[in-house]
Amino acid sequence: MLTILVTGGAGFIGANFIILARQKKWAKVINLDKLTYASNLQTLAELQNDPDYNFVQGDINNAELVNYLLKQYQPDAIINFAAESHVDRSIFSPRDFIETNVVGTFQLLEASRLYWQQLSLQKQQKFRFLHVSTDEVYGSLTPQEPAFREDTPYAPNSPYAASKAASDHFVRVYNHTYGLPTLTTNCSNNYGPRQFPEKLIPLTILNALDGKPLPIYGDGQNIRDWLYVTDHCEAIYLVLQQGKIAETYNIGGLNEQANLTVVENICAILDDLAPKSDYRHSSLITFVKDRPGHDKRYAIDCSKINRDLGWQPQENFDSGLFKTVQWYLSNSEWVNQVRSGSYQTWLQKNYDHRQV
Ligand code: NAD
Ligand code: DAU
């Protein structure tokens, strides 16, 4: 079995990946996470007695700690999920994104290089550094343009996207200059269980359950390509095992949806699963001031990972969205924990000034 150092594994995608990796016995996992507002250790409570899972609280910027973990656990791979991940927050506080997404990824690459260089030839050949990135590095598409391919030029439009683009470039450099065996994945919007409710889908579910307004930026016609989180995790594992060193792989849901449609679909599911006697959930939809620099459309061409590695998404949007709503309805303890404290401050900061 592989040993993997996962960073950012107490967040949405990282936690789903770790849970799957332990269920399927893909790997022993060491999870290094700073535990920012976006994390929740309760998400991983089911692994607390698992001897092949270790959690370490810490920052990917802490070179001493990362060096120690690499020496101690001798991982076969590093998967870098750790990031500041929310576009709206990057507009308020870009510096945090540079600290973690750019400098943090650089620190992790540097520690990996030092570790990798002193491995035996056999272990060097086996080692991989997999960087989890985003489709936002490619910028925005018009409705007519073809979907993003791996060779689409980078054109990031938000501080978040720019920080991820910079990190992707450093990953490329560490392969090109030092020979570190890297892989990069650029994925579209994920949804599913355990996502922090600052993102559109969980925010809509929880606001709707509370009878609060469902904020739609602009006219609600911005398009995202939604992928169920488990499909993303399976793709990452496949790239780790079979991906060609130095290559990038685009991962997408083949599922372009306008934001308004997504929110209306969630409302329809909630009308069935949690009906209100006096109103339909869609009556809560509220158009609010747009996100500055809001990208119009993302779409991923995932033909490379399909052709070369045989991956394609398994979940369809209707069933994936239904499962996601059900998960939030059945996990009120998790929901209450993430909604306490600083989450309320964020809602005021992001939404109070948007009212139109
Ligand atoms: P998230 O915000 O839910 O979780 C990020 C995790 O990283 C948190 O647990 C946080 O505590 C941790 N973290 C932040 N700074 C850290 C640091 N300096 N050191 C160690 N840990 C730190 O993010 P997510 O949605 O799970 O995204 C994971 C990765 O996938 C990110 O790199 C993101 O850019 C990328 N991605 C996300 C999506 C999406 O739709 N969510 C799509 C494509 C790519
Ligand atoms: O495309 C991949 C990216 O998807 C990831 O790299 C990011 O980490 C992840 O946050 C996500 O970015 P988006 O900005 O697309 O996700 P978000 O859920 O914030 O918004 C989805 C769409 O919904 C976007 O067009 C903005 C809109 N939106 C969002 C919020 C929070 C609203 O209309 N209202 C809202 O309240």
CA atoms within 13 A on the CB side of 42: 13
Calculate mean pLDDT across residues 317-321: 98
The answer, yes or no, to whether any atom of ligand 1 lies below 6 A from the CB of 225, is no
Given the CA of residue 104, which atom of ligand 1 is nearest to it?
A: 18
Q: Do 210 and 272 meet the contact criterion of CB atoms below 8 Å apart?
A: no
User: What ranges do the domains of the chain cover?
Assistant: 2-195+227-256+298-319
Catalytic residue, candidates 33, 76, 135, 168: 135
Asked whether the predicted pLDDT for residue 355 surpasses 90, the reply is no
136 catalytic? Reply is yes
The answer, yes or no, to whether any atom of ligand 2 lies below 6 A from the CB of 189, is yes
**Ligand 1 pocket, mutate which of 5, 6, 7, 13 (most atoms under 8 A from CB):** 13
| pLDDT on residue 340 | 81
| pLDDT on residue 341 | 77
122-171 tens-digit pLDDT: 999 999 999 999 999 999 999 999 999 999 999 999 999 999 999 999 99
Ligand nearest to the CA of 203: 2
Helix (H, G, I), strand (E, B) or coil at 80: strand
Catalytic residue, candidates 160, 191, 228, 249: 160
The answer, yes or no, to whether any atom of ligand 1 lies below 6 A from the CB of 156, is no
Q: Which of 67, 104, 66 is nearest to 85 (CA)?
A: 104
The phi-psi region of residue 194 (left if phi > 0; otherwise alpha if psi is between -120 and 50; otherwise beta) is left
Centre of ligand 1 from the C-alpha of residue 83, in Å: 4
Closest protein CA for atom 1 of ligand 1? 11
Calculate mean pLDDT across residues 173-199: 98
Closest protein CA for atom 8 of ligand 2? 85
In CATH terms, the fold of domain 2-195+227-256+298-319 is Rossmann fold (3.40.50)
CA atoms within 13 A on the CB side of 228: 17
Q: Do 199 and 217 meet the contact criterion of CB atoms below 8 Å apart?
A: no
Calculate mean pLDDT across residues 269-297: 97
Alpha helices in 99-218 (DSSP H): 105-117, 121-126, 159-178, 200-209
φ, ψ for residue 99, nearest 5 deg: -60, -50
Calculate mean pLDDT across residues 57-80: 98
205-246 tens-digit pLDDT: 999 999 999 999 999 999 999 999 999 999 999 999 999 999
The answer, yes or no, to whether any atom of ligand 2 lies below 6 A from the CB of 199, is yes
Calculate mean pLDDT across residues 334-338: 92
Given the CA of residue 39, which atom of ligand 1 is nearest to it?
A: 9
Given the CA of residue 40, which atom of ligand 1 is nearest to it?
A: 9
Calculate mean pLDDT across residues 294-314: 98
| pLDDT on residue 12 | 98
Centre of ligand 1 from the C-alpha of residue 230, in Å: 15
pTM of the model: 0.98
Q: Which of 293, 292, 312 is nearest to 302 (CA)?
A: 312
The answer, yes or no, to whether any atom of ligand 1 lies below 6 A from the CB of 207, is no
How far apart CA 281 and CA 171 sit, in angstroms, is 44
Asked whether the predicted pLDDT for residue 356 surpasses 80, the reply is no
How far apart CA 37 and CA 338 sit, in angstroms, is 8
